[in-house]
Amino acid sequence: MAIASSPRQTTTLTALTLGLVALLCAAGPCSGGGGASVPSVVTEAFFDGIKSQAGSGCEGNNFYTRGAFLSAANSFPGFAHGGSEADGKREVAAFFAHATYETGHFCYISEINRANVFCDASSRQWPCAPGKKYYGRGPLQLSWNFNYGPAGRRIGVDLLGDPDRVARDPAVSFKAALWSWMSSAHQAVPRGFGATVRAIDGGLACGGGNPAQVNALVGYYKQYCQQLGVDPGSNLTC
């Protein structure tokens, strides 16, 4: 990913966290336990409050909508569930903190540098389609063929053959992002926000790799927790 408001130029969702991990919540419904009512937590005021901080000329202004997010969330009933209502709110805050950072408050749909191909030719299970590029797209900037493939299979769309679908269809875009989230960060939420940063961006952000990114993510997370009326918890950094 490369966005004007982000210090990072590209987002690479690693095979260790996404491409090679087969988790129950990514493969199918995984609710269990209580949690938060996603439509009640992600109100129009909350969602539009994030978008309002993007510039008026942003490509994402007419693309990312609360309705598209809620439609996608219906396909992942485990999101914001599995713990208490407070746990669910913290997960919502965490997801939107990462999405805010990745897209510049929902300004960007795709990477600025779209010359990146992000094709791992060694992936036999998820071979790259001729002429297609798997650069970052969507709220969590889905990248690499070995992520587009299983994401598409989970949501019933051929994303290997048509990766641009993530940048054309808002519901598909959010579904792909939630697939990424449920495949890695969802299981990390109980360990604190810092664990979600490590799950998604560990090799790039944690361990002193990009402290500015971590600080920005934590700032968004704390802001959203405050808006949702929930304590952010401990272990906020990685």
Strand partners, 35: 81
Residue 179 lies in a domain: yes
**Whether 59 is catalytic:** no
Q: State residue 110 phi and psi, 5-degree precision.
A: -125, 165
CA distance 66 to 24: 26
Domain span at residue 195 reads: 38-109+169-228
Give me 227's structure tokens. 């808006």
Kindly report the number of other CB atoms within 10 A of residue 234's CB atom.
Answer: 9
**Cβ 194 vs Cβ 221: under 8 Å:** no
Residue 152 lies in a domain: no
Name the amino acid, one letter, at 238: C
**Cβ 20 vs Cβ 13: under 8 Å:** no
Specify the length of the chain in residues: 238
Residue 31 lies in a domain: no
Residue 47 lies in a domain: yes
CATH of the domain at 175: 1.10.530.10
Give me 131's structure tokens. 């002429």
Residue 95 lies in a domain: yes
How do the pLDDT tens digits run along the chain, 238 residues long? 433 333 333 333 333 334 433 333 444 444 445 899 999 999 999 999 999 999 889 999 999 999 999 999 999 999 999 999 999 999 999 999 999 999 999 999 999 999 999 999 999 999 999 999 999 999 999 999 999 999 999 999 999 999 999 999 999 999 999 999 999 999 999 999 999 999 998 667 887 778 999 999 999 999 999 999 999 999 999 8
Residue 162 lies in a domain: no
How many domains does the chain contain in total?
A: 1
Give me 176's structure tokens. 């792909």
| pTM for the whole structure | 0.86
Strand partners, 137: 110, 142
Residue 174 lies in a domain: yes
Residue 181 lies in a domain: yes
Nearest partner of 198 among 156, 141, 157, 236, judged by Cα: 236
CA distance to 76, 94, 202, per residue, from 9 (Å)? 29, 21, 15
- Using DSSP's 3-state secondary structure scheme, residue 87 falls into helix
Q: Which of 59, 85, 91, 102 is catalytic?
A: 102
